[in-house]
Structure 1
Amino acid sequence: MKALIVDDNDIARATLAHLAKQIPGLTVVNQYSNAIDAYNHLQKEQIEILFLDIEMPEMTGIELTKNLSGKDTIIIFTTSNREYALQAFELNIADYILKPVMPARFLQAVSKAQSILESRKENIQMTQDEFLFVRDSNITRRLKLDDIFYAEAMGDYVKFYTREKMFAIHGTMKSAEERLPKNDFIRVHRSYIISVSKIDTLQDGGIMINGKFIPVADAYRKILNTRMNVF
């Protein structure tokens, strides 16, 4: 895994570089004291992991992350402040480490990034044109995966909900879970699979998607919170 370290503090960069050397398979290809130089690097080379400070002059880590929208780089924030946690959640980063960075915490973050990379390898890369075929009133229709808000079990059927309508297909939640890409969908209840990008709010006992309350079972809550980087 190729990584960049971006931090305007010399000691912080040296600490992260030292920790990275202890992890087999993780290579820090460069270090930068500002986000602009890191951005220019990322336009030229594919980097798997970005260890990124938040408070930096000229361009903050938050701003850099927004400018990298659409790239596959996994971002791990390293910061001294807790106050950016909500923004980090909204940007769907991999992890959020508070300084001083401890070895065990660093390893945990890298392990999470490795899991994300492995998940990507196991699943066919998604594009806006990928789809499922579903039978609707004896007509087989093409349903774009990006249009799906959530899936709900109903007896021997699974109902797929989009903004406009619902499609019911004969099958099980297990088969639906296997078919839907793990990068984009997550099981939150024995009866529900949801699109992570379609979540509006998280609240006690469940989540809201397109005006629908969907319960989150205790067995899946920790997985969801980890996936969404909830603090």
Structure 2
Amino acid sequence: MKALIIDDERLARNELRRLLENFPKIEVIGEAANADEALNLIDELSPDLLFLDIQMPGKNGFQLLEAIEGKVPEVIFTTAYDEYALKAFEFNALDYLMKPVDMQRLAEAIQRVEEEQIHEVERKEGIKLLGEADQVFVKDGEKCWFVKLGKVRLFESMGNYVRLHFDDQKPMILKSLNSLEERLDPKIYFRANRKHIINLAWIDKIEPWFSGGLLVTLKTTEKGTATEKIEISRRQAIKFKDLMSL
């Protein structure tokens, strides 16, 4: 399992790396001293696990997790402050280790990581990816739809909900964008940024955008619904170009 250590204290990073040498299944592939460095490394190295400090200059550990585009790695918080424990588990952290990190507590955390990895493999093996020909049942309030996914041009995150855009309808379902992304065929549906997944078949126009990103214009629907313009972030633009190029 590939791990990234994120902590603004160099001594803390060195000590944690030393302790992790006792766990051969954990490969430390990089270190970051702040959230900006971490975001670049996460995008470049695709770690499976983050050992994440909370209090850091600039973005804190929670803000870092909120800024990650796409699938968030597993997280073990390492911090000198116990008052953030409840909030940490709101972010689905596997564990919360107090500094200085105790070897026994670290071993317990690593055990949770390994168990979670097994569960993740079993869960993915049981999941059927949904493509454009699949039909799904959608209920929002008193209204219901049975819609082919190929008609859904855009999925938009709205907090704990996702808004589906098809025809002139925009119902919401109680699901996170990350969990939905795991169910969708990546050859058809692309994570454009933190808030949007687009149906590649609905792209009408692509143009360069700020900071190395792209701006995608989606096709107008048969019912004449106004076209949506979605920004593909700089990080995701690199993946998009790789995916769509010869």
TM-score, scaled to structure 2: 0.51
Give the distance between the partners of 1:54 and 1:81, measured in 2 at CA: 8
* Number of the residue aligned with 1:58: 58
CA-CA distance at 1:93 after TM superposition: 1.3
* Number of the residue aligned with 1:109: 109
Q: 1:114-153 residue pairs with structure 2 within 5 A?
A: 114-124=114-124, 126=127, 129=130
CA-CA distance at 1:127 after TM superposition: 7.8
Give the distance between the partners of 1:121 and 1:163, measured in 2 at CA: 34
Distance 1:39 1:129, change over 3 A: same
RMSD: 2.9
* Number of the residue aligned with 1:173: none
- What letter corresponds to residue 37 of structure 2 in structure 1? D
CA-CA distance at 1:24 after TM superposition: 1.4
1:92 maps to 2:63:
no
Does structure 2 retain, via aligned residues, the 8 Å contact 1:66–1:91?
A: no
Q: 1:1-231 residue pairs with structure 2 within 5 A?
A: 1-68=1-68, 70-124=70-124, 126=127, 129=130
CA-CA distance at 1:72 after TM superposition: 4.0
SS in 1 for 2:78: strand
Unmatched 5+ stretches in structure 2: 144-173, 177-246
Could you list the per-position Cα deviations for residues 122-175 of structure 1 after superposition, in whole angstroms to 9, with x for gaps in the alignment?
122658849xxxxxxxxxx9658xx8xxxxxxxxxxxxxx9779xxxxxxxxxx
Give the distance between the partners of 2:51 and 2:87, measured in 1 at CA: 16
Does structure 1 retain, via aligned residues, the 8 Å contact 2:30–2:41?
A: no
CA-CA distance at 1:45 after TM superposition: 2.1
CA-CA distance at 1:68 after TM superposition: 2.1
Percent of aligned pairs sharing the same letter? 36
Does structure 2 retain, via aligned residues, the 8 Å contact 1:3–1:26?
A: yes
Does structure 1 retain, via aligned residues, the 8 Å contact 2:6–2:31?
A: yes
- What letter corresponds to residue 4 of structure 2 in structure 1? L
Could you list the per-position Cα deviations for residues 41-92 of structure 1 after superposition, in whole angstroms to 9, with x for gaps in the alignment?
1112210110010000011111111112641410110001111112112111
Q: Which runs of 4+ in 1 moved over 4 A?
A: 125-130, 141-144, 162-165
CA-CA distance at 1:104 after TM superposition: 0.6
Could you list the per-position Cα deviations for residues 163-197 of structure 1 after superposition, in whole angstroms to 9, with x for gaps in the alignment?
779xxxxxxxxxxxxxxxxxxxxxxxxxxxxx998
Unmatched 5+ stretches in structure 1: 131-140, 148-161, 166-194, 198-231
Give the distance between the partners of 1:4 and 1:104, measured in 2 at CA: 20
CA-CA distance at 1:98 after TM superposition: 0.9
CA-CA distance at 1:8 after TM superposition: 0.9
Does structure 2 retain, via aligned residues, the 8 Å contact 1:94–1:112?
A: yes
Does structure 2 retain, via aligned residues, the 8 Å contact 1:85–1:96?
A: yes
Give the distance between the partners of 1:196 and 1:46, measured in 2 at CA: 24
Give the distance between the partners of 1:123 and 1:164, measured in 2 at CA: 32
Does structure 2 retain, via aligned residues, the 8 Å contact 1:54–1:78?
A: yes
Does structure 2 retain, via aligned residues, the 8 Å contact 1:51–1:75?
A: yes
Q: How many residues align?
A: 143
Give the distance between the partners of 2:45 and 2:128, measured in 1 at CA: 21
CA-CA distance at 1:115 after TM superposition: 1.1
Give the distance between the partners of 2:93 and 2:66, measured in 1 at CA: 11
- What letter corresponds to residue 4 of structure 1 in structure 2? L
- What letter corresponds to residue 106 of structure 1 in structure 2? L
Does structure 1 retain, via aligned residues, the 8 Å contact 2:65–2:72?
A: no
Does structure 1 retain, via aligned residues, the 8 Å contact 2:75–2:93?
A: yes
